[in-house]
Chain A
Amino acid sequence: MRNLGSLKQTFTSKTSLVYMVLAIAVTVFYFLNPRSITYLGMTLILQTTGILGIVAIGQTIVLIGGSQGKAIGVDISVGSLIFVTTVIACGLTLYDVPQTVVIILCCLWALMIGSMNGLLVAKGKLHPIIVTFAMFMVLRGLSYTLRYVTPAGDVIRFMGAGRVFGIPVPFLFFLSLMFLFVFIFNRVVFGRRLFAKSSNPLAARLVGVKTEKYTFLSYVICSLLTGIAALCYYGYVGQPTLEYTDMYTFESMAAAILGGTGFGTGEGTVLGTLAGVFFIRFLFNLLHAYGFGDPLRKIVQGAIVITVVVGYSLIAERRRA
């Protein structure tokens, strides 16, 4: 029984629902575009899935633990953080900085941005959307002034484009991080307290959880994971483009929400996010395969996310009634 109880954060009824949606979606996608489910198609999808997945885990943690008062927690700055981190990595590589140092510096930079977000939200008691949106503007402005394009070194290229037993390295990163966070959410005090803070901050504070600390840490973890994803992105793409990194904000949020993460309701699983990430990536590939332009793709993605969220809320309501 004890095991069953602690597995609650891994499998919930919502998670199984998410996987059902994913299974239906993949079947539909397969009939619409059979070529996407081949070995080559799958490895290509896994590569980008890994990068998006790492960001989406961070976003899931912020959605779970980053809320402030009545305001929901969300990190809008991830997209532009990926871009700026990639540009910084380019600049450091240009001046022949050793690659381990590049990786460490990029992670430190991401930690700095994350702690700024976290401090403003947790200590400044500010609305997370406004704080991270302001950060998004600052980073976006920075990304226009800094311009470096340098091919990545061996280590970073391996992080982004390497394969181990035919599986792309970013996806392995994603999988290992996923198992790490499944463990943390279920077995580690940190995870339990994060969920306690998420489902009822007041009660959590009364039983002695330092809620501000957990709010702060969720933003720091999110930015750190984004920094790692940015390094993978750099190794994979070689040079950053703003249109594609900007999409990570929306896609990571959509993946977490499609995966059944609630807005500061104590709901949310990393395994659900995995399904959400796959759903988003398959959708993206399908829309690409059918030659949807950027504007139309935006409309379709927005509409699908809203539809699925509406479906979840309707099901939740029926269950309550």
Chain B
Amino acid sequence: MRFFGRCMKALKSRIPDMRHIRKNRAMTTWSIVFFLFFVEWIIFPESLGAANLQTIFIIAIPLFFATLAQTMVMIVGSIDLSIGALMSLTTCIASYLLVENLALGIATLIVLGAVVGLANGFLVINLKVNPFIATFGMMFALEGAALTIRNYPGGAVPESLLGIVKFQIYSISIYEILILILGAGFFWFFLNKTSSGIHFLATGASRSVAKNCGINVDLVTRKAHLICGLITALFAGLFLTIRFQAGSPLVGEPYLLFSFAASALGATRVSGGDADAGSLLGAVFILTLIENAMNLALIDTKSQWIIEGFLLLVILAAVGSSKKRRSG
């Protein structure tokens, strides 16, 4: 019996380590990703082919950057409903300008993202409009602008940009993987190793405490909206244009929901103050694999919406109940 007791004691002393593993949120998310990929590979053996791997990354990149943009504002306790419309507007403008002049096109996208981000920040901080209604109005304005510029899908993307996603070595898309890893890496570095990142997290966790600690919370929120706009226009919108090789006034709309879903899945606290780069990337891949599997199963877009919406509700309910168990 004494031996058994000692064993239990030894086991108990190990428990903190196991807890540490459980706390490592990225690991849970990524194990789901690999499980999903395994299931998909068994059902559709062609999913490991070069073409499909390329497709997966093309789906993942705009989704990842949209989620990253949403997470940036969520960290500071704000929200942005205009990213879907901004992505649509970006595809409309990019599909005109990029073919004419690559540098001019990219510069325009930077200006567009900066203007929208600054305007959102101005509305939220200087004019004290609730971020929800400010970005909701912005969404309508941007959607209207996109519809005025291009009423139906069209336009083109230069070959040099298409080369980024088409380039493969041994059926591995080097550039796409590099972009994703760099994006997630920068985000991780920003959150964990820079003082700005700490300021962002502190502002989201508690505005009043952060203010008393000497953080300029208004500036931080404005910065978050600016970064959100830049990421949305320059990365999410641009890669969405590359994915569809055209511009369309409503193509970005679903990305608003996806950005919410991926940030909720990726352990971002919606009310602010918490995020994790690794699980964010994992969550993006979970959604991507689900979409890819549905495409391979030839499910039409409208039914995909029902399935995705339901999946999201189920996932959210699961996340919510686990949160309650942890706290209570």
Contacts and interface: CB of A to CB of B under 8 A. Distances in A.
Contacts of A120: 313, 316-317, 320
29 contacts: A71-B270, A72-B130, A123-B320, A124-B320, A125-B323, A126-B316, A129-B260, A130-B261, A130-B264, A130-B316, A131-B313, A133-B256, A134-B309, A137-B257, A137-B309, A140-B305, A141-B306, A145-B303, A295-B147, A299-B140, A299-B148, A301-B140, A302-B138, A302-B139, A306-B134, A306-B138, A309-B137, A310-B127, A313-B128
B316 A131 contact: yes
A71 B264 CA distance: 14
A138 B310 contact: yes
A257 B129 CA distance: 11
Contacts of A92: none
A139 B147 CA distance: 24
Task: State the 9 A-B residue pairs at the shortest beta-carbon distance, nearest first.
Answer: A302-B140, A124-B320, A141-B305, A141-B306, A138-B309, A295-B147, A299-B144, A137-B309, A144-B302
Contact of A141 (B145, B302, B324): B302
B218 interface: no
B323 to A, nearest CB: 6
B108 interface: no
Contacts, number: 147
B77 interface: yes
B130 A296 contact: no
Contacts of A309: 129-130, 133-134, 137
Scoring A116, A126, A294, A298 by chain B CB atoms within 10 A of each residue's CB, the highest score goes to A298
Contact of B271 (A69, A138, A263): A69
Interface in B220-267: 254, 256-257, 260-261, 264
Chain B interface residue number, banded: 35 or more
Interface of B: 77, 79, 81, 123, 127-130, 132-134, 136-141, 143-148, 151, 254, 256-257, 260-261, 264, 270-272, 302-310, 312-313, 316-317, 319-321, 323-324
Contact of B127 (A72, A134, A257, A313): A313
Given A133-B257, A135-B309, A141-B309, A296 B144 contact: yes
B145 to A, nearest CB: 7
Nearest to A69: B271
Chain A interface residue number, banded: 35 or more
B270 A306 contact: no
Contacts of B312: 134, 137
A142 B312 CA distance: 15
A142 B129 contact: no
A14 interface: no
Nearest to A71: B271
A280 to B, nearest CB: 13
